[in-house]
């Protein structure tokens, strides 16, 4: 276990599109439990579930997880993570979204190693190659463009980078952003003090706030993850994903 890390899972019960989604079961196990088990498996540090609802708190405690109540006024998962991390001394704060049931421990470890080996970067995350054309056009699938060093240039719900028909790079891949962040402590403290930026408000992607304010994001390439849970229909998609995976 890396004692310099703290893993926080923001688990907001009052989701606008899917209230209570973190407690919705997939194959008999609530979404938040899938996330927590992946976080624990990394061995990177203590894991805390941060929520605004007592139902989530009760469930977390019932499975032996450490959990804390945070303010319902938190505007984002990052704000919730920051609140839960105050009073700790960890040099790295890992924010795993509570709606990513198929997060892999190996993905988090690789992204952490990438950030630790990138002293000029403030934040770490990951991406995977997009294989399904539907994801390229899907605004719920966030794309990322990177430089040669694996640092994020831009994140978008649009298909980036644009593939011009006259380009000689015929097979250049698209990359899907894996929705988690690893912050150096000072970077997290800086980020939460910044006002939402124009591009962030336009695309509804808070990581653009970091880029617009000159912060650098290291991106590790990893194998594709399973579906995240955003709306009720995603539970069926997740169950189908598990069945397909079991047959392989």
In this predicted model, what pLDDT tens digit does every residue of 64-113 receive, in sequence order?
A: 999 999 999 998 999 999 999 998 999 999 999 999 999 999 999 999 99
Q: Which residues contact 223 (CB under 8 A, 6 or more apart)?
A: 104, 107, 128
pLDDT tens by residue, 170-224: 899 999 999 999 999 999 999 999 999 999 999 999 999 999 999 999 999 999 9
Residue-level pLDDT at 248: 73
Residue-level pLDDT at 37: 97
In a shared domain, residues 1 and 15: yes
Domain of 211, CATH number, reads 3.90.550.10
Residue-level pLDDT at 206: 95
In a shared domain, residues 12 and 87: yes
Alpha-carbon distance of 3 to 6, in angstroms, equals 8
Averaged pLDDT score across all residues of the chain: 95
CB 143 within 8 A of CB 159: yes
Q: Which among 20, 17, 180 is positioned nearest to 103, based on CA atoms?
A: 180
Residue-number span of the structural domain to which 32 is assigned = 1-101
Alpha-carbon distance of 216 to 219, in angstroms, equals 10
In a shared domain, residues 120 and 90: no
Instruction: Reply yes or no on whether the pLDDT at 1 is more than 60.
Output: no
pLDDT tens by residue, 116-147: 999 999 999 999 999 999 999 999 899 999 99
Residue-level pLDDT at 159: 97
Instruction: Reply yes or no on whether the pLDDT at 2 is more than 70.
Output: no
Residue 64 burial by Cβ neighbours in a 10 Å radius (0-12, 13-18, 19+): exposed
Residue-level pLDDT at 16: 87
At residue 120, the 3 state secondary structure works out as coil
Q: Into how many domains does the chain fold?
A: 2
In a shared domain, residues 109 and 218: yes
This model's pTM is above 0.85: yes
At residue 155, the 3 state secondary structure works out as strand
At residue 55, the 3 state secondary structure works out as helix
């Amino acid at each position: 276990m890396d004692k310099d890390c703290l893993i926080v899972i923001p688990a907001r019960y009052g989701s606008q599109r899917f209230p209570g989604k973190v407690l919705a079961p997939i194959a008999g196990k609530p979404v938040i439990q899938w996330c927590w088990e992946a976080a624990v498996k990394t061995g990177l540090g203590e894991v805390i579930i941060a929520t605004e609802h007592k139902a989530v708190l009760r469930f977390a405690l019932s499975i032996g997880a450490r959990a804390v109540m945070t303010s319902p006024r938190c505007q984002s998962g990052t704000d919730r993570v920051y609140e839960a991390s105050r009073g700790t001394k960890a040099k790295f704060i890992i924010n795993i979204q509570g709606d990513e049931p198929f997060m892999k421990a190996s993905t988090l470890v690789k992204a952490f190693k990438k950030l630790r080996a990138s002293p000029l970067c403030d934040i770490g995350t990951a991406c995977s190659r997009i294989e399904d054309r539907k994801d390229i056009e899907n605004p719920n699938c966030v794309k990322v463009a990177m430089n040669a060093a694996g640092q994020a240039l831009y994140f978008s719900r649009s298909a980036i980078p644009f593939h011009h028909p006259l380009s000689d790079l015929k097979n250049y891949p698209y990359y899907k952003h894996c929705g988690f962040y690893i912050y150096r402590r000072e970077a997290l403290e800086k980020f939460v003090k910044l006002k939402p930026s124009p591009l962030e408000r336009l695309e509804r992607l808070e990581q653009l706030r970091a880029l617009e304010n000159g912060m650098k994001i290291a991106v590790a390439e990893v194998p594709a993850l399973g579906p995240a849970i955003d709306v009720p229909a995603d539970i069926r998609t997740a169950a189908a994903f598990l069945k397909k995976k079991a047959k392989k």
